Amino acid sequence: MSDPHLWLCATCGVEYAPSATPPAQCPICEDERQYVPATGQRWTTVQELSDSGHHVEIERVADRLWGISAPGVGITQQGMLVETDEGNLLFDVPGLISDAAIARVRELGGIHHIVASHPHMYGVQSAWSATFDHAPIWVAEKDAAWLGYRPDAVRVWTDAFDVLPGIRLDQIGGHFPGSTIAHWADGADGRGVLFAGDAIFPTPDGNVTFLRSYPNRIPLSPAVIRRMADFVKRYRFDVLYNNFGASAGPDAEAIVERSAQRYVAWTSGANDHLT
């Protein structure tokens, strides 16, 4: 299931190469987009997490779409398993794997391709890949330097491509230079679904936002937000999902545009008279 010497950062849940001793540091957490807790760096393993009662949950999100999460592990992201007639895609990866989860995913058709929206979402991607016939792990070239472990299944990519018929991977940038989105043309009953990770993030008021760092609330510039909002106009999508189970939509395309205009107005100073 998982190499017992595979190390996981206890804070972000990202895997690092198997070794007798853990790494000295987690570069992902030391970056300004994440953080090292005041108590310091700590490491764990899949076995330790399982022994302490952590588990993997798989829940139906929509037709042919399943959320996979590990409550309390790392930053508690939710991956998305997309079922298609040509194979299944795991988009974003939890920081845990279990026998029960493996059995359930097998019932759903397995995993044929794995992709993380950005480095915070690498999770235990090598373990999921190895379990499912070494499914290719697609890593954006601009972010590949963040890999703490590079198994043979890793495939580095640059240009947009169809990872499966009807599912296109593209790089929107913003949160990370290689921040990746997946467009599922047949999702939402053919109206289209966009999996956006942290790049475009649903908010409680039904809109979305865009940030360089979510835990540290570091913004992006008006020019970058405008670029990102224009970038997704090449795709048709009625619903947008982030990497924590939240969504925007219906009419997610209009929501992204409206939200970008709001964000740009506030960060450009156009609304300074209201402060």
Report the CATH number at residue 127.
Answer: 3.60.15.10
pLDDT digits (tens, 9 = 90+) for 99-157: 999 999 999 999 999 999 999 999 999 999 999 999 999 999 999 999 999 999 999 99
Q: What angle do CA 200, 203, 209 make, to 5 degrees?
A: 35
Q: Which residues on adjacent β-strands are paired with residue 65?
A: 62, 82
Is residue 1 situated within a structural domain?
no
pLDDT > 80? residue 96: yes
For the segment 196-209, the average pLDDT, to the nearest whole number, is 97
Rounded CA-CA distance 83/68 in Å is: 13
Is residue 194 situated within a structural domain?
yes
Is residue 167 situated within a structural domain?
yes
pLDDT given at position 3: 77
pLDDT given at position 4: 73
- Direct distance between the N- and C-terminal alpha carbons of the chain, in angstroms, rounded to an integer: 54
pLDDT > 90? residue 36: yes
Is residue 107 situated within a structural domain?
yes
Please tell me whether the overall predicted TM-score, pTM, comes out greater than 0.75 for this model. Answer: yes
Is residue 2 situated within a structural domain?
no
For the segment 175-195, the average pLDDT, to the nearest whole number, is 98
Beta strands in 6-160 (DSSP E): 7-9, 15-16, 43-44, 57-62, 65-69, 78-82, 89-91, 113-115, 137-140, 154-157
For the segment 19-41, the average pLDDT, to the nearest whole number, is 96
Is residue 163 situated within a structural domain?
yes
Rounded CA-CA distance 103/130 in Å is: 14
| Domain count within the chain | 1
Is residue 184 situated within a structural domain?
yes
Residue 91 lies in domain = 7-274
Is residue 19 situated within a structural domain?
yes
The amino acid that residue 57 corresponds to is E
